[in-house]
Amino acid sequence: MPCPSDRAVSLSRLRAWIKQFGILAAIVIIAATLGCAKPTFLTTTNLVNVARQISINGILGVGVTLVLLTGGVDLSLGSVVALTGVIAACFAHPGVYPLCVPLILGIAAGMACGATNGLVITGGVPPFIATLGTMTVARGLAQVISDGRPVSNMSPAMIRLAGDVGGIPVPVIILAAVALAAWTMLTNTRLGRHIYAVGGNENAARASGIDVRRVKMFAYTICGALTGLAGIVLAARINTGQPNAGLAYELDAIAAVVIGGTSLSGGAGGIGGTILGALLMGVINNGLDLLNVSSYYQQIVKGIIIVGAVWLDRRSSRKEG
């Protein structure tokens, strides 16, 4: 079946490449500056460190990229991270269940949250409201399940999910696998093209026979599953399931996505940009920590970069359009 938005897709892809090159240049310049100011920054161990620190935000970013591409939004990420982390931690005590149990339950819980979002949204509730509701419910559930206390005593197998394999942190391997799978899906499958089409123009997509409902359900459910995965990785990283973990993680993830050039109104952008966006945020956070810059300034810098990136993005698309 010919897709009417194929031309638009290839155009937006070209645009995305240009934008990504811009972010890549920004990352290189910032990294070089930090390297001069603090030679430790450019050591292999520190760069591995940066990769490890962006992996959770990166996994969340990949998931929410799918949602933003359909023109939606997901504010429930942070709370679902806490919920799935707590659930996984409850089943990860040493010598009770094999590792696959907390893994499957954590991801399944995330999928359930995502599918709920999808159902409510395709039922007619705006994404902002629907996911705001899930955000509150998931946080409450996390507190109910954990009784407001961190769930600790985690098996070594679970903790190893935050460890290293051959010098590469496991969370980084997970992020790479997730990003590669999502990238392939978006660029090489019909479902991927449909996601762009729904976000570009929902009515046109529907008119051309795309099952908009199914596409949206898919995007939110996968986003939920990846959020569950991120929740598990976070729990492994801090050796506990924390009911108050993940506060405002959704905003960091959405920031990474928009810095990476994905449009908040949907239809344009991609996974590569999201990974670069997360990398840029991670590099800045790590570099400013190394320079012992107060977290006050770190927030200011982060805010300026988010707005600056989107502003540049808008300017370039206006010129091209």
Asked if 80 touches another protein (CB under 8 A), the answer is no
Residue from 19, 52, 216, 302 touching another protein (CB under 8 A): that is 52
User: Could you count the other beta carbons within 10 Å of the beta carbon of residue 93?
Assistant: 15
The Cα 129–Cα 117 span in angstroms is 10
Binding positions for another protein, 258-317, rule CB under 8 A = 285-286, 289-290, 292, 294-296
Q: Residues 6 or more apart from 13 whose CB is under 8 A from it?
A: 270
The Cα 127–Cα 254 span in angstroms is 14
Handedness of CA 299, 303, 308, 313 (dihedral sign): positive
Q: Nearest approach, Cβ of 114 to another protein (angstroms)?
A: 19
Q: What residue type is 28 in one-letter code?
A: V
Q: Which is nearer to another protein, 45 or 203 (CB)?
A: 45
Asked if 136 touches another protein (CB under 8 A), the answer is yes
Do the Cβ atoms of 272 and 16 come closer than 8 Å? yes
Stretch of 110-118, 140-148, 206-214, 300-308 lying at the interface with another protein (CB under 8 A): 140-148
Task: State the helix-helix crossing angle for 77-90 and 249-259, rounded to 10 degrees.
Answer: 120
Q: Which is nearer to another protein, 184 or 244 (CB)?
A: 244
- Tell me the site size for another protein, rule CB under 8 A: 37
Report residue 290 CA to chain centroid gap.
Answer: 25
Q: Which is nearer to another protein, 51 or 178 (CB)?
A: 51
Binding positions for another protein, 153-172, rule CB under 8 A = 163
Asked if 125 touches another protein (CB under 8 A), the answer is no
Residue from 98, 140, 303, 308 touching another protein (CB under 8 A): that is 140
Q: Is 169 helix (H, G, I), strand (E, B) or coil?
A: strand
The Cα 59–Cα 75 span in angstroms is 15
Q: Which is nearer to another protein, 153 or 265 (CB)?
A: 153
Which residues are at the interface with another protein (CB under 8 A)? 38, 40, 43, 45-46, 49, 52-53, 133, 136-137, 140, 143, 147-150, 152, 163, 234, 237-240, 242-245, 247, 285-286, 289-290, 292, 294-296
